[in-house]
């Protein structure tokens, strides 16, 4: 995946810069996400690997995307196809999302708890995390009864493990050392 990320980064940055200049961040995200879904489709992936000519592959890909791609989106797909990079569209979409979140001062935080959090708890947690990260926070909440109690919070490279399971594991490790 790191190879695809390296390949995708300049495309994602170029698409993001263009969309930012045109004031169309949401529109471009939608176009790239749709094109990535098309590229990840099993039948399309098989077709793209076939012996068809580049022009035929691009034509079919753009026709499948239909009205989801405007003229600039079609040019973007053409450029990626000419360079043999259509398989990197999913990585482009992820990196584009990262650039957009950074620009909009937004961070997605994955929160795992032992029980479902109420709306009020989620709002309080989001406010607290917004102060901590100095960014707008979007919560992705999930439930895992195995953590016993507390919260496991992951935002990018930052991990806050306030779970009973995590505390027990750290205690066991300390006792074994």
Tens digits of pLDDT across the chain (177 residues) = 467 788 889 999 999 999 989 888 899 999 999 999 998 988 888 888 876 788 888 888 888 888 888 999 999 999 998 888 888 899 999 999 889 888 888 888 999 998 999 999 999 999 999 998 888 888 999 999 888 888 999 987 889 998 888 888 889 999 998
107 SS3 class = strand
For the chain, which domains are there? 2-101 (1.10.520.20), 106-176 (3.40.30)
Q: Using CB atoms within 10 A of its CB, is residue 120 exposed (0-12), middle (13-18) or buried (19+)?
A: exposed
Instruction: Count CB neighbours of 26 within 10 A.
Output: 10
pTM above 0.85, yes or no: no
DSSP 87: G
DSSP 146: G
């Amino acid at each position: 995946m790191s190879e695809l990320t390296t390949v995708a980064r300049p495309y994602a940055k170029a698409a993001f810069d263009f969309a930012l200049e045109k004031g169309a961040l949401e529109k471009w995200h939608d176009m790239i996400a749709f094109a990535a879904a098309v590229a990840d489709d099993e039948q399309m992936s098989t077709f793209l690997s076939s012996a068809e000519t580049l022009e035929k592959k691009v034509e079919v890909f753009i026709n499948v995307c239909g009205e989801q791609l405007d003229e600039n989106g079609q040019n973007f797909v053409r450029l990626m196809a000419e360079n043999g990079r259509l398989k990197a569209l999913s990585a482009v979409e992820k990196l584009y999302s990262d650039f957009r979140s950074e620009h909009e001062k937004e961070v997605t935080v994955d929160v795992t708890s032992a029980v479902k959090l109420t709306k009020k708890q989620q709002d309080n947690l989001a406010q607290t995390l917004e102060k901590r990260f100095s960014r707008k926070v979007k919560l992705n909440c999930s439930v895992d009864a195995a953590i016993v109690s507390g919260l496991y919070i992951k935002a990018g490279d930052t991990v806050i493990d306030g779970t009973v399971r995590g505390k027990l594991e750290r205690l066991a490790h300390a006792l074994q050392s």
